[in-house]
Amino acid sequence: MPSETLQAIVLRYANYRDRDRMLTLLTPDHGRVDVLSRGCRKPNSPLMPASELFVHGEFVLFRNNERFTLTSCQLTDTFYTLRLDPYRLTCAIYLLNLAQAAAQPEQGAQELFSLLLKGLYHMTYCESEPPLAVTNAFLLLFAAEIGYRPRMNHCVRCREPIQLEKGAGLDIEAGGLCCGNCVRGEQYLLSATQVEWMREVLDKGFAAGMIIADASLFEALRRYVESRLEVTIKSSQFLP
């Protein structure tokens, strides 16, 4: 039976039987892949380091029909220091959960894989960036990646150009900003600074110079993304 070597990130694991784990991987070419890590919970198992959340590396899988078993892994990064900061850890788990909700088996996910890797990198190694700011940026870029980039320049209701001095709101149902004249109670009011930040992130990604660790913006973006996924991500209950 053939073996395959896949670049992957561990999105989830579940202990199985006495010594095994079931892993959910995100791969660039095959999307979401479920893998058995047999015997990884034995003392000194060489598979244990590869059977943890966040691990990025080259996974060698044995394939039997549609079932995969992990045989070895060349680790690239474990993002270990996330585990030393409970809040960063919670934010990073939320990123994994979003990726898992969007990824599909046997559907390429190159851009989603790249986005998640960048998000984990910034969450782990960019200490000057608050974890909620990284999460907000990820949510916005994630929305664009799954095909729901919010409309930012013209009102989604009346089609007039957005004039920030008159206020704006994020209209979750309509999929973008509405102008001050069209804002109603169901929209999330946004400041000019928040709107400018959203535009910059959509243009420059994580390289955007502005940093906004804003709980109200997180709630707006969370609602926007989860409504598109048609799922509630439970880990978001512990944020912002």
Tens of pLDDT, residue by residue over 134-151, are: 999 999 999 999 999 999
Residue-wise pLDDT tens digits, 110-128:
999 999 999 999 999 999 9
The pLDDT of 49-75, averaged and rounded, is 95
Q: Is the pLDDT of residue 33 over 60?
A: yes
* pLDDT value of position 208: 86
Crossing angle of helices 110-125 and 86-102, in 10° steps, is 180
Torsion of CA 73, 89, 115, 141, to 10 degrees: 170
pLDDT average, residue stretch 59-88 = 95
pLDDT at 54 over 70: yes
**Mean pLDDT in residue range 58-83:** 95
User: Which of the four pLDDT bands, split at 50, 70 and 90, describes residue 1?
Assistant: low
Other beta carbons within 10 angstroms of residue 1's beta carbon come to 7
Q: Which residues pair with 176 in a beta bridge?
A: 151, 171
pLDDT bracket for residue 169 (50, 70, 90): very high
Residues with Cβ within 8 Å of 80's Cβ and at least 6 positions away in sequence, in order, are none
Per-residue pLDDT at 227: 96
Average pLDDT over residues 142-163: 96
Helix intervals (H) in 108-229: 110-125, 131-145, 192-204, 215-229
Least confidently predicted of 22-31, 63-72, 195-204: 63-72
Among candidate residues 134, 98, 133, 119, the one with its CA nearest the CA of residue 56: 119
Q: Which of 78, 73, 59 is nearest to 117 (CA)?
A: 78
Helix (H, G, I), strand (E, B) or coil at 116: helix
85-238 topology per CATH: de novo design (two linked rop proteins) (1.20.1440)
For 176-209, the pLDDT digits (tens) are 999 989 988 778 999 999 999 999 999 999 988 7
pLDDT greater at residue 66 or residue 220: 220
Q: How far, CA to CA in Å, does 236 sit from each of 53, 95, 155?
A: 17, 10, 29
Say whether pLDDT at 211 is over 90.
no
Cα 85–chain centre separation: 18
Percent of the chain with pLDDT over 70: 100
For the chain, domain boundaries:
3-77, 85-238
Cα angle at 130 between 88 and 12, to 5 degrees?
A: 25
Is it the case that residue 103 has pLDDT exceeding 60? yes
Cβ contacts of residue 175 below 8 Å, gap of 6+? 148, 150, 151, 156
Give the start-end residues of each E strand in 28-66. 31-37, 56-64
Instruction: Return mean pLDDT, the chain.
Output: 95
Other CB atoms closer than 10 Å to residue 75's CB: what's the count?
A: 12
Q: What kind of architecture, by CATH, is found in domain 3-77?
A: Beta Barrel (2.40)
CA torsion sign for 140, 12, 7, 101 is negative
Please say whether the dihedral angle defined by the alpha carbons of residues 21, 53, 105 and 230, taken in this order, is positive or negative: positive
Q: Which residues pair with 33 in a beta bridge?
A: 25
The answer to whether the beta carbons of residues 45 and 32 sit under 8 Å apart is no
